[in-house]
């Protein structure tokens, strides 16, 4: 869809600007840029800017925050691929960061992306956002990325390896490992837009459903997707004995669960006082993507 393409291009122009201005070792910057430039859907920046657009605000005011969230997402991918974690050799069809730069630099590049993201937000000023909005953003993003969010979800994922998780346990992993950063992207857009408390409540509910359907679709693609399109071997989750929705519910059951979360997401979104068209289209994009 054209909005996704436009936002992806804007973020991909801006990300190198942030890295290139750093007074840091060249190899570190190269490693950071290697993973940032590896492509991807850029769904988190798109969701942030789609939320701004849906509230009638210019998407330009969210670009730096969108870049910061994409840096956090990229750090998580670098660390996920490490031998001590998922031990992956390929990411989006290219050698993973540690395969190119070594484990030590890959770990430090991830650390640098995480910490630098907050520096970027801390330097934003009016009229982009007020001091109160800045504090809200930092708190929202830190919680989503931290022990109660993405990191906690990753720990639960590791703890669940080599055993079959219950559906509730699997939902917990995906709520936090994947869903919380998607949620904070949307809520960050709402904060920048000055959304009401009621709208933020329903956007959180919408975002949770979106995060779950995002992961269910990933699990389905791991069964029936095209390896070249998704950029990694199909069936890797099964080979690694990971619990997935198709493993627990069967492929047809996972598809029914996907439809259930699509319906719930859209129901929650209709409670928000905004133009719904773009976020509805993005929901369908996430549910129907092939990578």
Task: Give the model confidence (pLDDT) of 97-107 as tens digits.
Answer: 999 999 999 99
Task: Give the model confidence (pLDDT) of 147-175 as tens digits.
Answer: 999 999 999 999 988 889 999 999 999 99
Q: Are 217 and 252 in contact (CB under 8 A)?
A: no
Q: What is the mean pLDDT of the chain?
A: 93
Instruction: Please tell me the distance from the alpha carbon of residue 29 to that of residue 11, in angstroms, as a whole number.
Output: 17
Instruction: Please tell me the distance from the alpha carbon of residue 222 to that of residue 211, in angstroms, as a whole number.
Output: 17
In the DSSP assignment, the letter for residue 146 is S
- pLDDT higher for 73 or 39? 73
Fold of 2-288: Farnesyl Diphosphate Synthase (1.10.600)
Is residue 12 very low, low, confident or very high in pLDDT (cuts 50, 70, 90)?
very high
Average pLDDT over residues 115-140: 92
267 φ/ψ angles, rounded to the nearest 5 degrees: -60, -45
DSSP string, 128-193: S--HHHHHHHHHHHHHHHSTTTHHHHHHHHHHTTTSPPPHHHHHHHHIIIIIHHHHHHHHHHHHHH
The tokens for 20 are 């290139």
What SS3 state is found at 82?
coil
Instruction: Please tell me the distance from the alpha carbon of residue 179 to that of residue 173, in angstroms, as a whole number.
Output: 9
Lowest mean pLDDT segment, chosen from 72-76, 84-88, 124-128, 131-135 = 124-128
- Give CA 137 to chain center in angstroms: 16
The tokens for 161 are 């390896």
Q: Are 284 and 265 in contact (CB under 8 A)?
A: no
Task: Give the model confidence (pLDDT) of 241-263 as tens digits.
Answer: 678 999 999 999 999 999 999 99
Q: What is the pTM of this model?
A: 0.93
Q: Are 113 and 32 in contact (CB under 8 A)?
A: yes
Q: Does residue 239 register a pLDDT over 90?
A: no
Q: Are 52 and 38 in contact (CB under 8 A)?
A: no
DSSP string, 268-285: HHTTSSS--HHHHHHHHH
- Alpha carbons within 13 angstroms on the beta-carbon side of residue 279 total 36
């Amino acid at each position: 869809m054209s909005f996704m393409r436009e936002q992806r291009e804007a973020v991909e122009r801006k990300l190198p600007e942030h890295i290139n201005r750093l007074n840091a070792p060249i190899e570190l910057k190269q490693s950071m840029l290697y993973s940032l430039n590896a492509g991807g859907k850029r769904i988190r920046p798109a969701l942030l800017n789609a939320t701004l657009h849906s509230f009638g605000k210019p998407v330009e005011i969210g670009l730096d925050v969108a870049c910061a969230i994409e840096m956090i997402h990229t750090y998580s991918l670098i660390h996920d691929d490490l031998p001590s974690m998922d031990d992956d050799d390929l990411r989006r069809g290219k050698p993973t960061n540690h395969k190119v730069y070594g484990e030590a630099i890959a770990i430090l590049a991830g650390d640098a992306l995480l910490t630098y993201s907050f520096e970027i937000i801390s330097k934003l000023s009016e009229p982009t956002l007020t001091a109160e909005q800045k504090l809200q953003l930092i708190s929202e993003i830190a919680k989503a990325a931290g022990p109660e969010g993405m990191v906690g979800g990753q720990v639960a994922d590791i703890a669940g390896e080599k055993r079959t998780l219950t559906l509730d346990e699997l939902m917990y992993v995906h709520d936090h490992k994947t869903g919380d950063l998607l949620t904070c992207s949307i809520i960050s857009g709402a904060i920048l837009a000055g959304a009401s408390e009621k709208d933020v409540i329903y956007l959180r509910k919408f975002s949770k459903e979106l995060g779950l359907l995002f992961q269910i679709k990933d699990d389905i693609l791991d069964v029936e997707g095209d390896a070249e399109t998704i950029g990694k071997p199909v069936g890797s989750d099964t080979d690694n004995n990971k619990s997935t929705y198709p493993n627990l519910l069967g492929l047809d059951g996972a598809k029914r669960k996907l439809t259930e979360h699509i319906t719930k997401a859209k129901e929650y979104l209709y409670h928000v006082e905004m133009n719904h068209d773009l976020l509805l289209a993005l929901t369908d994009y996430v549910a129907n993507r092939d990578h």
